[in-house]
Amino acid sequence: MRMMKRFDAYLSRLCEVLGHADCDAPMRDYCTGLMLPLKRKSVEPIAAHIGPQAVSAKHQSLLHFVGNSTWPDEAMLRSVHDYVMERVPKDGRKGWVLVVDFSCAVAAGNVYGVQFHPEKSHRLGAKLLKHFAEL
């Protein structure tokens, strides 16, 4: 139960960044869905799990939320960064390394490898893929 309260507090903090109360429920649904033990972490299985009584409506809500992603990216990243850093012991920060793994496209010589999902579902991922395609 304590973990759920912490997760709820974290989501409340992220919802503040969104700036629109109508985005709070989809944000909570999407983030909760990402934490579920599902084989696929896309909106379709998340919608089926989060809203089994109204899968179609939940699916559309999540698609709209993820597809439009109208929140300010810098503010969202800053909020996540601050949340993490508040929990890292101040006396133990020296020597800490925070690794965020985001691999979408790699190249070695004339061989390219591309990971299309989940990055493609956010406008920054789509922009990255567009730039890669233009190489």
d(CA 75, CA 59): 26
Mean pLDDT, to the nearest integer, of 42-47? Answer: 89
Q: How many domains does the chain have?
A: 2
* Residues 84, 37 share a domain: yes
More confident residue, 112 or 70: 70
User: What is residue 49's predicted lDDT score, i.e. its pLDDT?
Assistant: 92
Helix residue ranges, H only, the chain: 2-18, 24-35, 43-50, 55-68, 73-87, 123-133
Q: What is the pLDDT of residue 23?
A: 87
Local confidence band at 58 (pLDDT 50, 70, 90 cut-offs): very high
Do 62 and 10 share a structural domain? yes
Q: What is the pLDDT of residues 72-128, one digit of tens each?
A: 888 888 888 888 888 777 776 666 665 555 555 666 677 766 665 544 555 666 666
Averaged pLDDT of the chain: 79
pLDDT at residue number 48: 93
CA-based nearest residue to 41, from 5, 72, 66 = 66
- Residue 72 and residue 127 share a domain: no
- Domain range for residue 82? 2-91
- The pTM score is 0.66
78 part of a folded domain: yes
